[in-house]
Structure formats: structure tokens, C-alpha cells
Amino acid sequence: MLALATTTVCGCGTTVSGAGPATGAQGNAGLSVPTVAATQAAGSNTTTGNTSTGTSGSTGGAATTGSGGTTDVGPASGSGGGSGGATTTTAGGTGTLADHSPVEVGIGVDGNNGPFATAFGVSNAQPPEQDVTAAIVAYLNHHGGLAGHPIKPIYAVFDNTSNDWVGQDQAMCAKFTQDNHVAVVVRTDDIFGPLDACLAHAHTPLVLWESVFRPRSWWQAAPGLRFTPDDATGARIYAALVDRMAATGRWKPTTKIGLIRYDRADQAQVLREGVQPALAAHGLKLSDTEAVHTPESFQDLSGTSSELASAVLRMRQRGITSVMFMGGDIAYLFAQEATSQRYYPHYALTSFDFPYLLPPSALGGAFGIGWYPSDDLNQPPVATAGMKRCQQAAAGTGVTWSVTGADRFYVMCDQLFWLQAAYGTVGSVSPAALAQGARQLAGRLAPSYTFRIDASQHPDGLAAVKDLSFVGSCSCLRYGKLFALGN
């Protein structure tokens, strides 16, 4: 995927990740979001009550048996107590990890970010993602780990410059589920390959950040196994975007609206189930829809760019005056091509378009909704509680928080701190505990990358957005009113 100007450009599909000065000035303004203590429920790994029963463990686990009920804290679900595992008896319950024993966490990181960014004319001089993540993991372990269990990170590096992104995803899943048996996986970039399906087949929870829109069915296909704390479904985002475009008078029934997306089946589903109903509710419709090639390698991006050039020409000929996108690097590549063809429609933007990357000359009349300050704005940041916590965790790694690439580290912080808070809430690291912890945690964790997250009602946790508009007097993007994101 591309993660451009933050620019940890990944290569699983496409995500030109926005860059910009760390995070936006507005922070958590208007929301009361306390920080969950890092040591919350540390050391507790039991479920009380005689009727409480957890799933049994996985291969290689260490079982903990007692009289107070059953708690599974193993790295993956399975039958039996786990072959080869040692059994330890406590007063708390039965599980597949000895009390306070390490828990393996799969962490997918990007590699070769510098060369990948250079291909797009962007510089990324940040330290390697794995080095920063290792510091964050060490910080979490120093502050209680996951429900009292130290994190044992299992890293898999995704080479952005690879000529086979699908193969990269396959290798990553094999490392997590075959070479190792991790309890959960975190990934900070788009999944265009088989990683999500592979992990679901292994009953391994995935905590994901990506910059493309998914239909609700993606989460529903693996209940309790897929979580996107900083993201939302396409239906939720487009309902909010269309509401704001209509409420501000930017879209009327006479407006010729165009949409650009990838030729992926899930994005076609988002179009049917999210975009079109949201438009119809306001008496609006699309005048043109263009689906361009989904790249499967770094070298494959040229085909996408070529198709976008043709799409720009068709939209210009059809008189499209407002263009919306389905995330990733499409907006960046489209704007470049449109500018070269002297075509200047008004863009309806979301944070998934990495607005800060778009050339100011293309942003006249741009408006939309944003929730990732570091990808939306080019203003000096005012550090929030979540940002300060992340910066403290990564201290000494050489991260420059005010330049390109910092957002990827904020994302990793949010994912790992969210894991700690969710597991800590229930005192367990079992597969079922993550979903239970997400429900109980609700919105009590102050994130670093966005305004508010709450995965208590659904596994996509983005809970608030702001108006985002281009201001000609400063040639910059600025935030406006804060809104709760609907369900």
C-alpha cells in the first residue's frame, strides 16, 4: 500500500499515508477522554464465579488450573489444554498461560520506507518502524504488559518495494500462525493480500489500521477477531461525509458528483451499501463512478496511475464538479494527474485521502471530514495526553514528531496501548477477552492518532470527526466543528 507522506509507505495495496506535522492543533478539544492507566488490572488473569468458562488453549500453551472457574489466556483458540504445555495450578482458574508468563504478539511493520517514499518524491528520514515499536513494547512491559503478561513481540517485516505484496502477506501470516502461535496480531498498514483471511482461519485476532474503506461484512465475517480502533466502516464515514456536504450546501441535487475507487469487490460493496444510500437520503446521486486497478506490487502502481489518467479525462469531459474517493493513495495520484490536465474539481475529502499530501493548487473549494490530524493538517501540533504518552514510550528512538512519518508511530501506539487497556480491563489475554475488553473499555482510552475511539458497540472504533476545509488565505487545511460519528 502506499504510505506516502507519513510516509511509511507500505506495500500491500495502496495507502499514501499522510505526513504532516505530527498531529493537529485541535487535539481532543470538546471531548473528555481520560487516559486509561497503563497498569490497569495488571497481574489479574482469572475469571471468578463457578459458572465462568473460557475456551480451551492452543498448542504449546501452559495451562493454569484452579477451583474458581475457567479462564483461557492462551495465544490462540483450540481444543484441549494444548499439547506440550505445562500445567500450573492456582486458585484462579484454568488457562493456557502460566501466571505472568510472556504472551506472543505478532507485529507487522513496514520496511524499505525510505526508497518507497523517494519514488513518490517524498523524504522519510524517520528511524525504522521496528526499532520504534520495540521501544513502545518495552515501555508497555515496564507498565504491566498485557493483563500482567510481558509482551514477547514476533516481528514480520513487509518490504514496500517488493514485487509481490500478496506473497508478503502470506509470509507474514505463516510467521505468526505456523512458525509461531501468537495471541494477537497488530498491523499498521493496508491489507490487500490474504493476511486477514489467514489470521481468521487460525482464530487469531487482528488489530488493524488501514486507509481503505471496508464494508460491515468484513468485520462480521470474523466476529471477535477483527478490530480497527482508529478506523470506521465505509457506511459510517460516507453517511457523515454526505451529511456535511449537504448541510453546508456544497452538494445539491444538481451537483455532478464523481467517485474514484479501486476495482476491489469490497469497495464495490461499500459503494452499494454505504455511498449510494447516503447520497439518496439527501436526494443526491453519482454522475460518474470510476474503478481503477488495485496494485499488487510496487512495480504494479504504474498501471493504476495510467488508469487514473484516463479516469480524469472522462470526468472532465462529463463535467464532474465534485470528486470523492475511497481512500488510500487514489486522491494523491488523481490530484496530480488532474492538475497536469488542468482539471480542478472540488474535492470531498476524508482523512483516508491524506489531505495534507494534496497540492494546494488542487484544493480550492475542498471540504470534508477529518479525524487524523497528522494526515489532515500542516499546522504545528498541540500535544494531547495520548500524544505525550506515545512520545514518552518512544523516547530515545530518534523519532521526529513534527515531520513526515510520525503518524505511523502514533498508530502503533494506539494499537498497542489499546490492546493493553482492553486486555487489562478483563484481566485475561484469551481470544475472547479482547472483544470483551473492547466492550468494557468503551471510550476511556485517550488515543494519540485521532480524537476519540470507542469499540464498545462495534469493532470499528472511530468515534468522532471534524469538519475539514481548505482556507485560501493561508493555502492550508483547517478543522471546524467536532461531531460524534454515528453508528
Which residue is listed with cell 498508530? 411
Give the residue-averaged pLDDT of 169-177. 95
Q: What is the spatial distance between Cα 265 and Cα 91, in angstroms, rounded to a whole number? A: 50
pTM flag (> 0.85): no
pLDDT value of position 61 = 34
* Nine-digit cell string for 247: 448541510
Q: Residue 360 carries which DSSP code?
A: G
Q: Please spell the DSSP secondary structure of 35-102, one letter per residue.
A: PPPTTTTTT-----STT-------TT--EEE-SS------SS--SSS-TT--EEE-SS--BSS-TT--
The pLDDT of residue 54 is above 50: no
- Average pLDDT, integer, range 431-446: 95
Number of other residues whose CB lies within 10 A of the CB of residue 252: 11
pLDDT grade, residue 168 (50/70/90)? confident
> What percentage of the chain has pLDDT greater than the value 90?
62
What are the φ and ψ backbone dihedral angles of 215, each rounded to 5 degrees? -80, 160
Contact criterion met (CB below 8 Å) for 133 and 156: no
Cell of 190: 493496508
Give the pLDDT of residue 209.
95
Neighbouring-strand partners of residue 106 = 154, 185
Return all residues near 305 (Cβ < 8 A) that are at least 6 apart.
333, 337
More confidently predicted of 166 and 451: 451
Give burial (CB, 10 Å; 0-12/13-18/19+) of 84. exposed
Q: Which domains does the chain have, with CATH numbers?
A: 234-378+466-484 (3.40.50.2300)
State the pLDDT at residue 313: 97
List, edge to edge, every strand of the sheet that includes 103-111: 151-159, 103-111, 184-187, 206-208, 226-227
